[in-house]
Amino acid sequence: MAQANRPLSPHLQVYRWAAPMAVSIIHRATGSALAFGAILLTWWLVALATGHDYFSIVQDYAGSWMGRLVLFGITFSLMQHLASGIRHLFMDMGRLYDLKINALTAKSTFVFSIVATLGIWYAAYKVMGVL
Amino acid sequence: MKDMKTPIAKVRGLGSAKGGTHHWLTHRVTAIANIPLVIFFVVSFVGNAGKGHAEWVAWLKQPIASVLMILFVANMVYHMRLGLQVLIEDYVYDPGTKFASMIALTFSCVLIAALSIFSILRIAFGG
C-alpha cells in the first residue's frame, strides 16, 4: 500500500442486499465450505482403506448429532455451489444478464439447493430404513 | 522506502502474468466435468447410506465406482485449487503471506488428491 490515504472504492456496506449479490457471495462461501468437505471425504476414504475398526470410528463421528449437522451443511453447500455454478456458466456465455431474469435465476438457485438438500437427506434416511 | 512512483506507474507496460486465460478456462472446464461427477457421487452415497465397511469396500471395488471416484476426486481437487487460489489473490494482501499461502494451498491439494486416490486404488486392487 503506497499511499494509504487515497480514497477507496465503495465496498459491501454501501450496497443494498439483493439476490444476485447474495448468490455471488454465497458461491464463494460454499466453495470454501466444500474445501473442508474435501478434507472430510479424504479422511473417510483413508479410513475405508485402513480397515473395519478405524472405519467404524469415522462412521460414528459422521453419524453423531454434530457429524450429521456438518454433513447437512456440506450437502447444502454442494447443491448451492452446483446451482449457482451452472448459473455462472450461462453468464459466462453472455446469457441471463436481463435484470429480471438475473434476479429470478439467482433466487431459483436457493429454491433448488434447499429442495435438493432436503430430498437427498429424505432419500438417505429412506435407504437406511429410518423413515 | 522512498518511492515517488504511483502503483499504476509501476505496473504499466509490464503486462499480465499470461496465465489468467488458462486459469479461467480450466476453472470452467473442471466445473462442467464436476456436474455429472457430483451427481454420481451424491447418488452413490445416498444409495449406500448406512452401509458397513464390507459393503462400502465391495461397492468401491467395482471398476466403474473406482474410476469415477478417482475422476471425481482429481477433478474436484483441481477445481478447488483454482478457486481457492482466487480467494488468496483477492484477500491476502501481504506478498510474503500470499506466496506462503499459495504454496500451502498447492501442497495441501496434492496431499488431499494423493491420499484419496491411493486409498481408492488400495481398495480396488486389495484382496
Q: Does residue B63 belong to any structural domain of this protein?
A: yes
Nearest to A103 by CA among A2, A20, A6, A46: A20
Helix axes B20-47 and A99-128, enclosed angle (nearest 10): 30
> Residue B18 is which amino acid?
K
Number of structural domains found in chain B:
1
Domain spanning A19-128: CATH 2.40.128.720: no
pTM, 2 dp = 0.89
Q: Do B87 and A32 touch (CB under 8 A)?
A: yes
- Asked if pLDDT for residue B120 goes beyond 60, the answer is yes
Q: What's the mean pLDDT when you consider all of chain A? A: 93
Q: Does residue B109 belong to any structural domain of this protein?
A: yes
d(CA B64, CA B27) in angstroms, rounded, equals: 25
For A49, the closest of B93, B112, B119 (CB atoms) is B119
Q: How confident is the model at residue A27 (pLDDT cuts 50, 70, 90)?
A: very high
Q: What is the pLDDT of residue B1?
A: 57
d(CA A19, CA B46) in angstroms, rounded, equals: 30
For B28, the closest of A41, A48, A92 (CB atoms) is A92
Q: Does residue B83 belong to any structural domain of this protein?
A: yes
Q: Does residue B91 belong to any structural domain of this protein?
A: yes
For A85, the closest of B31, B46, B77 (CB atoms) is B31
Domain boundaries, chain A: 19-128
Q: Does residue B1 belong to any structural domain of this protein?
A: no
- Asked if pLDDT for residue A86 goes beyond 70, the answer is yes
Take residue A51 and report the three cell numbers written for it: 480397515
B49: domain range?
21-125
Q: What is the pLDDT of residue A7?
A: 75
Q: Do A85 and B3 touch (CB under 8 A)?
A: no
Nearest to A49 by CA among B117, B44, B102: B117
The dihedrals phi and psi of B2, each to the nearest 5 degrees, come to -95, 105
Q: Does residue B8 belong to any structural domain of this protein?
A: no
Q: Does residue B81 belong to any structural domain of this protein?
A: yes
Cβ contacts of residue A86 below 8 Å, gap of 6+? B35
Q: How confident is the model at residue A13 (pLDDT cuts 50, 70, 90)?
A: confident
Which CATH number covers residue B59?
1.20.1300.10
Nearest to B60 by CA among A40, A44, A71, A60: A44
Q: What is the pLDDT of residue A130?
A: 87
Q: Do B116 and A41 touch (CB under 8 A)?
A: yes
Cβ contacts of residue B111 below 8 Å, gap of 6+? none
CA distance B123 to chain A (A): 6
Lowest mean pLDDT segment, chosen from A16-25, A105-114, B24-33: A16-25
Q: Does residue B56 belong to any structural domain of this protein?
A: yes
Nearest to A61 by CA among A49, A43, A46: A43
Summarize the confidence of residues A76-96 as an average pLDDT: 97
**pLDDT for B3-35, tens place per residue?**
788 888 877 767 666 778 899 999 999 999 999
Per-residue burial over A26-38, b = 16 or more CB atoms within 10 Å of its CB, e = otherwise? bbbebbbbbbebb
Is B57 in contact with A48 (CB distance < 8 Å)? yes
